[in-house]
């Protein structure tokens, strides 16, 4: 384990290893002592039935030890509960295969935050998630296990699945009005190229599109959308300009 950094006391931490896809998120009021204790023989024996312990044992059999990443340093013990819940929710939202069996926040003797305290901590975490430092913390751990093989496996698992209307509405609300940075657009383009270059991906997409648009209902929706678009003068003008540019380009090419 990494023990080079002096311990702050109240921390949210992650146990991970670059050779594994799994991650465990925990909290500690004793700095790195708690995450380090997860690998002790007595701890592994006592909690041998838990996924976390089984994962650590599997690493040890290969001569490896879990690494510790400090996700956040909290000012008070009382802040740990809400912070742990936040990070577990964040990792699950980006499909990180967590070893945690609960949503976090359990274990501080039934302490309940006031509405004011919960609002304050929620605001703090929202700000952290929107900072370069916060995104970097999440990305460093995510990049360790999202290998090309892991991405391909997840893509295959999701193939053909459809979101329900409630999920679609949540996704639309989350992305509406948000602009991608040039770096984000470049990363998305690179990821798309990798997917389309993967064996079988193109064939799957073509088959899915054909199946989706072969029904009478899909054809009716497509026809209705086309009629609606062509009824818009602005859309007609854009298409006209685009077609004119294409024909001009072809004529120039034919003259050469």
Residues 161-204: tens digit of each pLDDT = 677 788 878 877 777 777 778 888 888 888 888 888 888 888 88
pTM (2 d.p.): 0.44
Provide the 8-state DSSP code for 79: G
- The pLDDT, as a whole number, for residue 52 is 93
Are 25 and 84 in contact by the 8 Å Cβ rule? The answer is yes
Tell me how far apart the alpha carbons of residues 210 and 212 are, in angstroms, rounded to a whole number: 5
- The pLDDT, as a whole number, for residue 151 is 64
Are 35 and 13 in contact by the 8 Å Cβ rule? The answer is yes
Quick: pLDDT tens for 13-28: 999 998 888 999 999 9
- The pLDDT, as a whole number, for residue 4 is 40
The residue behind tokens 């995104």 is: 135
Tell me how far apart the alpha carbons of residues 73 and 32 are, in angstroms, rounded to a whole number: 11
Strands (E), the chain: 11-16, 23-28, 67-73
pLDDT at 9 over 80: yes
Q: Report the DSSP beta bridge partners of residue 229.
A: none
Q: Report the DSSP beta bridge partners of residue 67.
A: 16
Q: What is the mean pLDDT of residues 213-234?
A: 83
Q: What is the mean pLDDT of residues 6-12?
A: 81
Q: Residue 71 is inside which H or E element, if any?
A: strand 67-73
What mean pLDDT, rounded, does the chain reach? 80
- 148 pLDDT band, cuts 50/70/90, is low
- The pLDDT, as a whole number, for residue 11 is 93
Provide the CB-side half-sphere exposure for 76 (13 A, CA).
7
Are 108 and 80 in contact by the 8 Å Cβ rule? The answer is yes
- The pLDDT, as a whole number, for residue 93 is 85
- The pLDDT, as a whole number, for residue 143 is 67
- The pLDDT, as a whole number, for residue 246 is 77
What is each CA distance from 79 to 11, 114, 125, in whole angstroms?
10, 12, 11
Closest CA to 141 of 6, 35, 37, 13: 13
User: Higher model confidence: residue 229 or residue 5?
Assistant: 229
Angle between helical axes of 182-197 and 148-158 (0-180°, round to 10): 70
Quick: pLDDT tens for 99-146: 998 888 764 434 455 677 677 777 776 776 677 777 776 676 666 656
DSSP string, 89-131: HHHHHTT--B--SS-S---STT----HHHHHHHHHHHHHHHTS
Quick: pLDDT tens for 234-243: 888 888 888 8
């Amino acid at each position: 384990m990494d023990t080079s950094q002096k311990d702050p006391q109240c921390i949210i931490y992650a146990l991970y290893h670059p050779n594994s896809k799994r991650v465990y998120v925990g909290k500690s009021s004793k700095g790195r002592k708690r995450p380090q204790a997860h690998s002790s023989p007595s701890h592994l024996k006592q909690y041998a039935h838990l996924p976390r312990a089984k994962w650590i044992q599997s690493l040890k059999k290969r001569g490896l030890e879990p690494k510790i990443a400090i996700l956040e340093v909290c000012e008070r013990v009382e802040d740990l509960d809400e912070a742990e819940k936040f990070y577990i929710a964040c990792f699950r939202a980006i499909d990180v295969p967590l070893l945690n069996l609960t949503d976090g926040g359990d274990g501080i003797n039934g302490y309940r935050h006031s509405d004011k305290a919960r609002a304050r901590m929620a605001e703090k975490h929202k700000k952290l998630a929107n900072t370069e430092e916060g995104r970097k913390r999440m990305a460093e751990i995510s990049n360790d296990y999202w290998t090309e093989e892991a991405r391909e496996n997840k893509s295959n698992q999701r193939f053909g699945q459809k979101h329900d209307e409630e999920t679609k509405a949540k996704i639309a609300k989350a992305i509406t009005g948000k602009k991608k940075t040039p770096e984000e657009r470049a990363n998305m383009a690179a990821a798309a190229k990798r997917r389309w270059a993967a064996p079988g991906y193109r064939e799957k997409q073509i088959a899915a599109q054909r199946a989706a648009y072969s029904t009478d209902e899909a054809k009716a929706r497509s026809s209705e959308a086309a009629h609606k678009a062509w009824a818009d003068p602005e859309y007609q003008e854009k298409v006209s300009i685009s077609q004119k540019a294409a024909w001009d380009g072809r004529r120039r090419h034919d003259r050469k």
